[in-house]
A = this chain, B = another copy of it.
Amino acid sequence: MCVLGATGMVGQIYLQMLADHPWFEVSAVTGNTTVGKKLIEAYAGKGDLPRKFWELEVLPSDPSKIDADLVFSCLPTKAARELEHKFAEAGFPVVSDASANRYQEDVPLIVPEINPEHLDAIDVQRKRRGWEGFVVTTPNCTTTAFVLPLKPLLDEFGLRYVNVVTMQAVSGAGYNGVPSMAIMGNIIPYIQGEEEKVEQEPRKILGTYRDGAFRPAEVTIDATCTRVPTLVGHLAAVTATLSREASVEEVAEALEGFRGLPQQLELPTAPPRPVVVREEVDRPQPRLDAGSNDRSGMVVHVGRLRKGSLERTVKFVSLTNNLVRGAAGIAILTAELLKATGRLG
């Protein structure tokens, strides 16, 4: 198994999560400016690389140089656009958390608990493109902060409209993404390209796949995305308009009771409950509740659940670990789902 772009911020989380994975073994890693170096040298000063990967050689992101039965991609957008198709064409199953291919009409955009049936699009994709491999994508890290709780709301009460304001951690922009001069003691009320993704992706994820086509869910989303001085954990303040009136208790029950196929299949990286409702008045908080680089980081914490001022609305805040549930972890869970449903080799 190979991680493309393993030397970055998210690559590091992949490697921590995969170090003791029961199903997947890291056999290759790729980089860009550090090709030829040992992985530990490419990481200098930036984090904690599990000892077992220190000696791995950083390879170029070239399908002909890689021997692997599965490829994770956390490449930057532009590189992902160029390379992921090549890997698929060369026969590799590619699970990507890059945005490059998310919106293509034959590429599934997967949150394993929400839309595992979208994986059926893989067959169409392969046929249409003549590939032996395939590409499956996972959403923007911020989307994962609120799309999981939307699923049970949609299923149980109907969902019309979502207003979401996000407060995103600096790690979401990569290790060098946000200069300290820009963000310390400050808020930047804009993240390039983010609101478009956040307003669009949930519609595909919550939609259906039938007769070879994705049909987006009929929900309208308004997003304002901001960067705040936190390290890990994207917080979203959500106001949702349902199709019918629902009490706070009903909504809490729907959220707490929500389980998906990964929970049924007891996939290794699946948290027992994907959504946890916090009853403390002041939780979730990013520094306390974002979880670690393991299953604990896969839980979306929902708090401050209450009725809105308008009819049929509820308000809550939700928190995602942008590096785990929002990136490496969701890709690994998606790969587990692929394997458990017989789509890997």
Contacts and interface: CB of A to CB of B under 8 A. Distances in A.
Interface stretch (A21-29, A249-257, A268-276, A309-317): A309-317
Interface in A41-64: 44-45, 47-48
Given A181-B171, A237-B224, A310-B161, A288 B186 contact: yes
A190 B303 CA distance: 10
Interface string A158-187: 000101010100110001111111111111
Nearest to A229: B229
Contact of A184 (B185, B222, B237, B284): B185
Contacts of A185: 184-185, 229-231, 286-287
Nearest to A167: B187
Interface string A215-241: 000001110101011110001010100
Contact of A189 (B182, B303, B310): B303
Contact of A231 (B184, B222, B310): B184
Given A176-B179, A180-B178, A229-B228, A222 B313 contact: yes
| Residue among A9, A44, A48, A184 with the highest chain B CB neighbour number at 10 A | A184
A130 interface: no
A308 interface: yes
Contact of A304 (B161, B180, B224): B224
A186 B282 CA distance: 12
A235 B317 contact: no
A199 interface: yes
Given A179-B175, A310-B161, A190 B224 contact: no
Interface in A123-181: 161, 163, 165, 167, 170-171, 175-181
A28 B303 CA distance: 32
Tier of interface size on chain A: 35 or more
B231 A181 contact: yes
B181 A179 contact: no
Given A44-B280, A280-B45, A285 B189 contact: yes
A182 B181 contact: no
Given A165-B237, A181-B9, A287-B186, A309 B224 contact: no
Nearest to A225: B237
Contacts of A286: 185-187
Given A185-B185, A189-B235, A189-B237, 11 more contacts: A9-B181, A161-B309, A179-B179, A187-B230, A189-B282, A189-B284, A189-B303, A222-B310, A224-B239, A226-B235, A229-B230
Interface of A: 9, 44-45, 47-48, 161, 163, 165, 167, 170-171, 175-190, 199, 220-222, 224, 226, 228-231, 235, 237, 239, 280-288, 303-304, 308-310, 313, 315, 317
Top 7 closest pairs, chain A to chain B, by CB: A165-B165, A186-B287, A190-B282, A224-B237, A165-B237, A180-B180, A170-B180
30 contacts: A9-B181, A45-B283, A48-B288, A161-B310, A163-B163, A165-B165, A165-B237, A167-B187, A167-B226, A167-B228, A170-B184, A178-B180, A184-B229, A184-B231, A185-B230, A185-B286, A187-B228, A187-B230, A187-B235, A189-B237, A189-B282, A189-B304, A190-B282, A220-B309, A222-B313, A224-B239, A224-B304, A226-B317, A228-B228, A229-B230
